[in-house]
Amino acid sequence: METLALFTLFSVLLLSAAVWVYAKSSKKARPPLPPGPLGFPVVGYLPFLRPNLHHHFTDLARNYGPIFKLQLGSCLAVVVNSPSIAKQVVRDHDAVFANRDPPIAAIVGTYGGRDIAFAPSGTYWRDLRKVFVREMLSGANLRACYEHRREEVRKVIRGVKSRIGEPVNIGELASSTELNVVARMIWGSTLGSDEEKNEKIGAVFRELMGKYVDTFAEPNISDFFPWLARFDLQGIQAKMEGMRKDVDNILEPIIKEGVRIVSEKSRSVSESDEKKDFLQILLELKERDDIGRSLDFQAIKAILLDIVIGGTDTTATMVEWVMTTLLDNPEIMKKVQKELEEIVGLNNIVEEVHLPKLSYLDAVVKETFRLYPALPLLVPRCPTNTTQVGGYTIPKSTRVFLNMYAIHRDPQLWDNPLEFRPERFLNQTSSGLDYTGNDHRFLPFGSGRRICAGIPLAEKMLIYILSSLLHSFDWHLPEGENLDLSDKFGIVTKKCVPLIVVPAQRLSKFELYQ
């Protein structure tokens, strides 16, 4: 019995030692967390964050390298500042990092994260993205909506013509134009030719969407300490719930009318030749067995919000930034206008057929995206499993930022990175520097499966508005005003000081402005 007891004890000790050695070796085998600055207990690094996060994170990257961590309350954040590590996140481990980490305001504002931007990766998100890309933003649909874009761009040119010699706010001009285009694409056919009603709804919606985006970006203590969310200490959740009700009051009557129209068309044999807006497309898809399971009315409203916010705020902001950089570089503006003279002619107006030929303007836009990306940290990702990236361990549920502001200005990647030089996008070596996310030095729209779904529409509208404004008018600052290039961080990073400029007639014939 004593021999058996000793053997049992020896076996237990031997097994315990083996488990301890294995645990120790496993711990050694796992890479450490990335380096990063220290913070205070409980709150972490939160008290040290500066308002312009993209500038602050870029400064920290100089001290801590291509990847670093920050403890923000009870949330761990990791910031990636190099294209090689960004590639590991968006390509090599794309499936693991395919989820978002939306703020509470975004979850509430998108009907529980039912939209494409914030919905978790899975069957629902894949179905919605497929609907958006294949059904709504297909080449055929974009071509069918061309008249909407043309009419709204011509309308803004007429408006600017009536204000020649007067100061014009470029950001407001671009924003109203974008929203008018998007609204007509979403519900233009449903509301019919009642232009006054369309403009009234558009004006209210534009103001509401501005508040929406501002609330998304508002710092909320509940996002850093989730256990405080139930108390809504700053009232952000309640404010967003109120705005969502305002959205319902606008969209639900339009959707109800859309349902009536689709129902009538379903009983008609000639409905195939009629133009459909995005809402009617969604309502028809809702009845299909293969997609309808994902499209209830809440999902439809969330998708419409995605189109409005994504299709207006980012594009309008970039119109303002491109115009700013051209005014700061008048010799480059002259090159753009010379290209427009050669491709379009001063006896003609810009049409979408001209846009693919405007290679220098395209390079100017890309160079502006490089220096002033609309989303300098993109939309944060959130790994579903603990993963190794860049030689470090990234724990599950970490908030991962891709610092494109730092990557786009890295002197090891770009020659004279702070210089505005569109020619860098015309070289043969830059042939892969487009918006598809394949070259990880340049990712203004992201990359991988969560790349922006609205690129075709955004690119088309951005070039169309810019080329029309630059072809139709010469521009200069009001007398005594200086150009301001400072920015302020947000969901979309905008200029600190709005761009106010004065137009002068450029086309040869007055009739071209009509």
Every domain of the chain and the residues it spans: 28-513
pLDDT at 28: 54
The better pLDDT of the pair 282, 430 is held by 282
Contact 312, 116 (CB under 8 A): no
Residue 198 phi/psi, 5-degree rounding, is -60, -45
Q: Where does the pLDDT of residue 2 fall: very low under 50, low under 70, confident under 90, or very high at 90 and above?
A: low
Residue carrying the six token digits 């139930």: 230
CA distance 81 to 66: 5
Three-state secondary-structure class, residue 341: helix
Mean pLDDT of 64-68: 97
- Report the run of H or E that residue 81 belongs to, with start and end: none
Contact 398, 386 (CB under 8 A): no
Over residues 201-228, the pLDDT tens digits come to 877 888 888 899 889 989 999 999 999 9
pLDDT at 416: 96
The better pLDDT of the pair 387, 491 is held by 387
CA distance 148 to 139: 15
CA distance 31 to 391: 6
Residue 187 phi/psi, 5-degree rounding, is -135, 15
- In order of 15, 17, 26, 112, the CA distances from 22 in angstroms are 11, 9, 6, 43
CA distance 94 to 243: 34
Torsion (CA) 290, 379, 495, 410 in degrees, nearest 10? -130
Structure tokens given for 299: 């999902």
Residue carrying the six token digits 């924003």: 175
28-513 is classed CATH 1.10.30.50: no
Measured distance between the N- and C-terminal CA atoms of the chain, rounded to whole angstroms: 107
CA distance 251 to 205: 10
CA distance 290 to 130: 11
CA distance 48 to 72: 10
Three-state secondary-structure class, residue 67: strand
For the ranges 11-20, 193-202, 212-221, 353-362, the lowest mean pLDDT is seen at 11-20
Percentage of the chain modeled with pLDDT above 90: 72
**Is the per-residue pLDDT at 475 higher than 70?**
yes
pLDDT at 310: 84
Residue carrying the six token digits 């050695």: 21
Contact 322, 466 (CB under 8 A): yes
Contact 503, 163 (CB under 8 A): yes
- Report the run of H or E that residue 445 belongs to, with start and end: none
Contact 186, 279 (CB under 8 A): yes
Classify residue 373 by its DSSP letter. Answer: -
Global pTM? 0.91
CA distance 226 to 397: 13
Cβ-based neighbours of 411, under 8 Å, separated by 6 or more: 417
- Count helices and strands (H / E) in the chain: 17, 12
The angle at the Cα of 294, spanning 455 to 384, to the nearest 5 degrees, equals: 70
Structure tokens given for 221: 């203590």
Look at phi and psi of residue 464 and say left if phi exceeds 0, alpha if psi is from -120 to 50, else beta.
Answer: alpha
Classify residue 478 by its DSSP letter. Answer: P
Over residues 360-413, the pLDDT tens digits come to 999 999 999 999 999 999 999 999 999 999 999 999 999 999 999 999 999 999
Q: Which residue in 78, 135, 10, 50 sits closest to 389, CA to CA?
A: 78
What is the separation of C-alpha 374 from the centre of its chain, rounded to a whole number of angstroms?
A: 7
Over residues 417-452, the pLDDT tens digits come to 999 999 999 986 666 799 999 999 999 999 999 999
Structure tokens given for 12: 């237990």
